[in-house]
Amino acid sequence: MKIYNGGKIFIGLLVFAVLAASPFIFNMGKSKTAEKPDIRIDTPEILKLEDKKCVAPREQMRATHMKVLDSWRDAVVRNDDRSPVLVSGRQYDKSLQNGCMKCHSNKEEFCDKCHAYVEVKPTCWECHIEPKEKKS
Ligand code: HEC
Ligand code: HEC
Ligand code: HEC
């Protein structure tokens, strides 16, 4: 039996092998940080906090921050409840812009980085104002 176009077949197989392996190749070295990318919580506002905490414990925030946002929006928009949230003795508005983003003013290094990693694209910023970021 004669193999026609042996060269092309070989290249085809090679391309296939590389494509099939690419998820593994691109993930090499990632395994240790698989739960999350390198996000930063060293913003000026957070550095000012005596007790460097979020509005709920970290693990809880990681898993359910969208629910916190929903409940804040419902409180403000539906119930006109704008009572502040207390963190480390400081008051924060139940607000995306003036609450979350007051502390997490580094949206790109925080929210965006993690969302890019998990491939979610919240559409909030079509209406809500993004924090102005200092480019370092
Ligand atoms: C179509 C425009 C629009 C989009 C998209 C939108 N919002 Fe809002 N949001 C509003 C408006 C208008 C208010 C009312 C503002 C007020 O009364 O202070 C509001 C209020 C809120 C509030 C409470 C007050 C404040 O200043 O933050 C939260 C929290 C909130 N939205 C979260 C979100 C989140 C999270 C998303 C994305 C998942 C989102 N919103 C997407 C328009 C929008
Ligand atoms: C008072 C400042 C402050 C406010 C307001 C705040 N955060 Fe945080 N956030 C922090 C700090 C500090 C941490 C790190 C907490 C820790 O290490 O225990 C954090 C952690 C988080 C994490 C977990 C990150 C990780 O390590 O996986 C998420 C997600 C988050 N915040 C989202 C939000 C959202 C969404 C809001 C608004 C609903 C918000 N934060 C409001 C200061 C704040
Ligand atoms: C540690 C990773 C991480 C960080 C940091 C983070 N998020 Fe998220 N976020 C997620 C994940 C994962 C989801 C999707 C959860 C799901 O689909 O159940 C999500 C979903 C959301 C949603 C709902 C989106 C939708 O379309 O339903 C909103 C709103 C949101 N995040 C806001 C924020 C804001 C604002 C910040 C920054 C203050 C932030 N997140 C920081 C991981 C993160």
Q: Token digits for 68?
A: 């916190």
The 10s digit of each residue's pLDDT in 3-16 is 666 667 666 665 66
> Is the domain of 46 the same as that of 66?
yes
> Is the domain of 22 the same as that of 43?
no
What pLDDT was estimated at residue 30?
Answer: 46
107: nearest Cα among 45, 50, 51: 45
Residue 111 belongs to what domain range? 35-126
> Is the domain of 26 the same as that of 91?
no
CA distance 4 to 18: 23
Closest protein CA for atom 35 of ligand 2: 65
> Is the domain of 7 the same as that of 72?
no
Q: Is the pLDDT of residue 31 over 50?
A: no
Asked if residue 116 has its Cβ within 6 Å of ligand 3, the reply is no
Burial class (CB in 10 A: 0-12, 13-18, 19+), 124: middle
- Ligand 2 atom nearest residue 92's Cα: 5
> Is the domain of 17 the same as that of 59?
no
CA distance 99 to 105: 10
The 10s digit of each residue's pLDDT in 100-129 is 999 999 999 999 999 999 999 999 999 999
Q: Could you give the percent of the chain with pLDDT greater than 90?
A: 67
> Is the domain of 72 the same as that of 86?
yes
Identify which of 41, 55, 66, 124 to mutate to test ligand 3's pocket (most ligand atoms within 8 A of the CB).
66
Whether 134 is covered by a domain: the verdict is no
Question: What is the domain count for the chain?
Answer: 2
> Is the domain of 27 the same as that of 45?
no
Closest protein CA for atom 9 of ligand 3: 115
Whether 131 is covered by a domain: the verdict is no
Asked if residue 65 has its Cβ within 6 Å of ligand 3, the reply is yes
Asked if residue 46 has its Cβ within 6 Å of ligand 3, the reply is no
What pLDDT was estimated at residue 92?
Answer: 97
The 10s digit of each residue's pLDDT in 50-103 is 999 999 999 999 999 999 999 999 999 999 999 999 999 999 999 999 999 999
What average pLDDT does this structure show over 15-20?
61
First to last CA, the chain: 65
111: nearest Cα among 94, 32, 120: 120
Q: State the residue for tokens 């916190």.
A: 68
> Is the domain of 23 the same as that of 46?
no
What is the b/e burial string over 70-83, where b = at least 16 CB atoms within 10 angstroms of the residue's CB? eebeeebeeeeeee
> Is the domain of 70 the same as that of 98?
yes
